[in-house]
Amino acid sequence: MTISKELASELDKFGLGTSEVAHIRAAGQLLEHSIEAIVDAFYEWLRNQHEFSIFFGSNARMMDRVKSMQVQHWRTFFGAELDEAYVASRRHVGAVHQHIDLPTDIYFAGMRETLAAILRHLRLVAPASAERDAMETALTRLVFFDTYLATDEIYRIQKEKLLITSNSLLEMSTPVTPIWDGILLLPLVGIVDSVRTQDIMNKTLSKIAETRARMFVLDISGVSAVDTAVANQLLKITRATQLMGCESIISGISPAIARTLVELGIHVGEVKTTATLRDALELALRAMGMDRAGQVAGRTSETR
């Protein structure tokens, strides 16, 4: 059996070597006719748990189908072919549990109950001896390994979903919008951290390149807090826009934020700042030319 170095390393961490595999297979031969009884013992325990009615209810056919799959699952367990296919099958168990939203506590408890049933049946067919002790140790280690693989897959899927959700929220929370020919607006709301400021930087510069904007208004009136790191990151964004020929205005500077910037010793430099978004937009329009402001006024009056 050829396995990857990564899998070999994982098996070594759980103490699953050639000797343990041999002991597991020896136990499997002794328990060949007991696997269905072991699975039945698990379901007798599960019937007394709240989750039984949630996942099975009175659907006897589904329970019989799942029990049949579990019998096969434990047959491969005792076969102990610990290769990539075995790992994939155990990770698939985790994926299924994640899909049906099975609580982690009932899964861990169920594995404990199944291991207890396995050891009970082993003690019925094998006399007390060093060999039986070795079998019990090896079986326990493989149950732990199986449990790790399933829960690690659950965690991986959850992390992947969280990342997708986080990226979606970032997409929605960073709306760099052209509000007039040559003027971009980005209203920030909520918490701003290093990940989000990097996203802001990327999207702002991309939008400037796309629209050839000459003015960029960054409104922070909806930002809950500004510390040294956030302030410096926001100033870096404005400097980056200047390198692309686009002037920046930071609006929404509240008294609290102004006081914080002064106390932190943040040097705003040549970046224009305003207390309100309205002031920033007026400043941007003037910078683009008074005729633009006049056009805006004219268009506004036409729509009334």
Whole-angstrom Cα distance, residue 157 to residue 104? 14
Do 147 and 271 lie in a common domain?
Answer: no
For residue 301, how many other CB atoms are within 10 A of its CB? 8
- Give the total number of structural domains in the chain: 2
- Output the CA–CA distances (angstroms, integers) from residue 167 to 171, 198, 203, 205, 218, in the order listed: 6, 12, 13, 18, 21
Helices in the chain by DSSP H: which ranges?
Answer: 5-13, 18-30, 35-46, 50-55, 60-79, 84-99, 104-125, 130-173, 194-211, 228-243, 255-263, 277-288, 290-303
Do 91 and 40 lie in a common domain?
Answer: yes
The CATH number assigned to the domain holding 233 equals 3.30.750.24
Structural domain boundaries, residue 156: 5-170
CB burial string 136-146: b at 16+ within 10 A, e below: bebbebbbebb
CA Rg value for the chain? 32
What is the per-residue pLDDT for 254? 82
- Which one of 117, 145, 170 terminates a domain? 170
Whole-angstrom Cα distance, residue 226 to residue 157? 33
Do 194 and 211 lie in a common domain?
Answer: yes
Do 133 and 9 lie in a common domain?
Answer: yes
Do 155 and 183 lie in a common domain?
Answer: no
Pair type for strands 183-190 and 177-180: antiparallel
What is the per-residue pLDDT for 258? 81
**For 220, phi and psi rounded to 5 degrees?**
-115, 20
Quote the tokens at residue 110: 């169920």
> What is the model's pTM?
0.62
- Which one of 170, 192, 224 terminates a domain? 170
Do 163 and 184 lie in a common domain?
Answer: no
**Residue with token string 């982690």:** 104
pLDDT tens, the chain, 304 aa long: 678 999 999 999 999 999 999 999 999 999 999 999 999 999 999 999 988 888 887 777 888 899 999 999 999 999 999 999 999 999 999 999 998 888 999 999 999 999 999 999 999 999 999 999 999 999 999 999 999 999 999 999 999 888 776 666 555 556 888 888 899 999 988 777 777 788 889 989 999 999 999 999 999 888 877 777 778 888 888 889 999 999 999 999 888 778 877 776 766 666 788 989 999 999 999 888 744 444 544 444 444 4
